[in-house]
Amino acid sequence: MVLSLGVSLALFLLTLVSMVLMLLGLGVFTTPWLLHLVRMHANQRRALAGAWAGLHIGPPYRPLPPGPRGVTGHVECCVLMLKDPATWRDFVWLITDAVFGFVLALLPVALIGYGIEGWVMFAGVWRAVAGDYWYGFIHLDTFGDAAQSAALGSFVLLLGLYANPHLIAAHFQLARGLLAPTRGARLAHRVEQLYETRHDAVDSSAAELRRIERDLHDGAQARLVAMGMSLGTIEALIEHDPAKAKQMIAQARENSAEALTELRDLVRGIHPPVLAERGLGDAAEALALRMQLPVEVDVELPGRFAEPVESAAYFAVSEVLTNAVKHAEAEHIWLDIHYTDDAGGMLRIAVTDDGQGGADVSQGSGIAGIERRLGPFDGILALSSPPGGPTMVTMEIPCRPLAPA
């Protein structure tokens, strides 16, 4: 009630006055601050809708681009916020919430309070107001009237217990109608998200190609070139110095074995054979066995998934496990990989370690790289790492298992 009648009405009036003052130039400086307060107030109501009524109301606002110094200027910020349709829907919601939202918030309290009042009258207060007080349609004058007030109060309490959850839900449904993103806003956000993930996917592919080219140039290619030069020298020495030629042939054999090993490692880095042959579960277990710390693996999967999904999940797990071994100072790691049918199918991966904690996404590019890897699949990553540990990295990838052949 306080948020609806007090805060919403106050913000509506202040914002209205600030917009009027824009004609004098003053509102250009005050309106952005007030609109930020309005958005904070609306976001608080969205959070309450999720906590009290189980309604998810996503923020519909367009992102504000940073200015030359990292912060958008007052005038530009004011113009961008006023161009956002969500700003005007918030403005309409403020006055709607101050009137209808207040009534819907008041009714649950009024029903409980009015029901208790009937029993307060029955408890003896009726004697002090006998002949001068009406409780509903009951004129309180005698003990029988007080008993009727208790009965009516009981009915109102029962009505409140039944109706109050619906009234609270109606309050937040009213907010949802104006605060939730519209279909156009959702589509625009989705297009922007797809553009970003496509851009990240292209950058990741280009970086991977550069890595492969660099590894080939510095490793296997250099060894093969050296082996070719050695074979030319052997051809010239085989008649004049057979012993030296035999020694160089042995050296060339070693170089070919090393080049083959490097090529195998390079192929394994592109797509591990165990992943292609046996799937994500066995590949994750094999990866855990290669870690320097004990990793307890719990895998429950219905079958194979599309190769791009399995590859992204595998390398994401590899990155998280490597980070835990290098930076967490942990003694034990737990890896859980499960699949659920909710939300159209979801692959869930959790990596937990008992290390020192305190990990932060902004401290390095590892977590950001994993997010970019999961982005093309609409995957998400959540990090929980309080100081002192434990650290849990949770990844979710929407997908469906492949049909058995």
Question: Is 404 part of a structural domain of the chain?
Answer: no
Same domain membership, residue 232 and residue 358: no
| Distance in angstroms (rounded) separating the CA atoms of residues 116 and 105 | 18
Question: Is 405 part of a structural domain of the chain?
Answer: no
Choose the final residue of a domain: 154, 179, 204: 179
Same domain membership, residue 133 and residue 41: yes
Residue 401 has pLDDT above 70, yes or no: yes
According to the model, what pLDDT value does residue 10 have? 94
Residue 231 tokens read as: 């074979």
Same domain membership, residue 81 and residue 212: no
Give 243-266 pLDDT, tens digit per residue. Answer: 877 787 887 777 777 667 666 655
Same domain membership, residue 229 and residue 355: no
Same domain membership, residue 148 and residue 283: no
Tell me the pLDDT of the chain averaged across its residues: 81
For residue 300, give the nearest of 156, 372, 401 by alpha carbon: 401
| Distance in angstroms (rounded) separating the CA atoms of residues 403 and 303 | 8
Question: Is 82 part of a structural domain of the chain?
Answer: yes
Give 300-339 pLDDT, tens digit per residue. Answer: 988 888 888 888 888 888 888 888 888 777 889 999 999 9
Range list of H helices, 121-239: 126-129, 143-179, 183-215, 221-237
Choose the final residue of a domain: 140, 163, 179: 179
Same domain membership, residue 261 and residue 373: no
Q: Pick the more confident residue, 12 or 323.
A: 12
Cβ proximity of 396 and 356 under 8 Å: no
Cβ proximity of 145 and 139 under 8 Å: yes
Question: Is 403 part of a structural domain of the chain?
Answer: no
Residue 327 tokens read as: 């930076």
Domain count, the chain: 3
The CATH number assigned to the domain holding 362 equals: 3.30.565.10
Residue 144 has pLDDT above 70, yes or no: yes
Cβ proximity of 111 and 159 under 8 Å: yes
- Could you tell me which residues are beta bridge partners of residue 297? 335
Same domain membership, residue 32 and residue 146: yes
Question: Is 113 part of a structural domain of the chain?
Answer: yes
| Distance in angstroms (rounded) separating the CA atoms of residues 174 and 390 | 41
Same domain membership, residue 210 and residue 260: yes
Give 161-185 pLDDT, tens digit per residue. Answer: 999 999 999 999 999 988 988 776 6
According to the model, what pLDDT value does residue 322 have? 82
Residue 310 tokens read as: 């399995």
- Per-residue burial over 16-32, b = 16 or more CB atoms within 10 Å of its CB, e = otherwise: eebbeeeeeeebbebbb
| Distance in angstroms (rounded) separating the CA atoms of residues 135 and 149 | 7
Residue 278 has pLDDT above 90, yes or no: no
309 lies in which domain range? Answer: 278-398
Residue 158 has pLDDT above 60, yes or no: yes
Residues 6+ apart with CB under 8 A from 135: 117, 118, 121, 149, 152, 153
**How crowded is residue 198: how many other Cβ atoms within 10 Å of its Cβ?**
12
Question: Is 242 part of a structural domain of the chain?
Answer: yes
What's the whole-number mean pLDDT along residues 222-243? 75
Same domain membership, residue 16 and residue 124: yes
- Could you tell me which residues are beta bridge partners of residue 353? 333, 391
Give 27-47 pLDDT, tens digit per residue. Answer: 888 888 999 999 999 999 999
Residues 6+ apart with CB under 8 A from 350: 334, 335, 336, 392, 393, 394, 395
According to the model, what pLDDT value does residue 48 have? 93
Question: Is 168 part of a structural domain of the chain?
Answer: yes
Give 50-80 pLDDT, tens digit per residue. Answer: 889 888 888 888 777 665 444 456 788 888 8
Helix (H) or strand (E) holding 360: none
Same domain membership, residue 356 and residue 260: no
According to the model, what pLDDT value does residue 41 have? 94
